[in-house]
Amino acid sequence: DAKTTQPPSMDCAEGRAANLPCNHSTISGNEYVYWYRQIHSQGPQYIIHGLKNNETNEMASLIITEDRKSSTLILPHATLRDTAVYYCIVRVAGTASKLTFGTGTRLQVTL
Amino acid sequence: DSGVTQTPKHLITATGQRVTLRCSPRSGDLSVYWYQQSLDQGLQFLIQYYNGEERAKGNILERFSAQQFPDLHSELNLSSLELGDSALYFCASSVAVDTGYTFGSGTRLTVV
């Protein structure tokens, strides 16, 4: 699986959009981009995933660049409950293969 | 409630002992994954089972073993426990296609 690079930490004011970047310059054509988050010591929570098109769900939006070498997770209106470690992961499509977690981005949402 | 059930939630045991952690996947999910997260460490993949068969192995110690039963629940057995085995152990499940994993709330193991 391709490796990813994320900033170690970010801050965001409550109510503002949180934009979390991820670099995956060695991604292969059959690899999806997944985002998960872990709030304190809870089990990681799936957020969203995509292959090449932008995706949106009730939690977030995922913007993937045209060359697929980077992506951005957008939390449109961050709240204090969004404070967590966010993980960007790439994984081969068409399998139930393991997810390899990196160190992620620690997002701190403040008042 | 994520649908993935892990028991027990907390476990305190002495060095040298053996423990068994249990995971019930979401209904219909055939794959089960085990992860270890030590204090201030990342999530380390241990092992994956798919429909009763071992599918992939990660950084799992020889003192650790796992299995998935016909009803698809899984058990992670940790033996000859050491202080360094103290960690959160997470189980996740998924269906056989490209969907996200669903994680359980974990078992916190403390070895004293």
pLDDT tens digit sequence for B23-60: 999 998 989 999 999 986 789 999 999 999 998 899 89
Q: Does A103 touch chain B (CB under 8 A)?
A: yes
Q: How many Cα atoms within 13 Å fall on the side-chain side of residue B63?
A: 12
Give the tens place of pLDDT for each residue, B50-65: 999 998 899 899 999 9
Least confident of B4-18, B66-80, B90-104: B90-104
Query: B49 is written with which tokens?
Result: 């089972």
Contacts of A99 in chain B (CB under 8 A): 33, 45, 101
Task: Look at residues A89, A59, A79 and name the one whose alpha carbon lies nearest to residue A16.
Answer: A79
DSSP state of B85: G
CA distance, residue B25 to nearest chain A CA (Å): 14
Q: Which residues pair with A110 in a beta bridge?
A: A13
Per-block mean pLDDT, blocks of 10 residues, chain A (111 long): 89 97 93 93 92 93 96 97 96 74 95 93
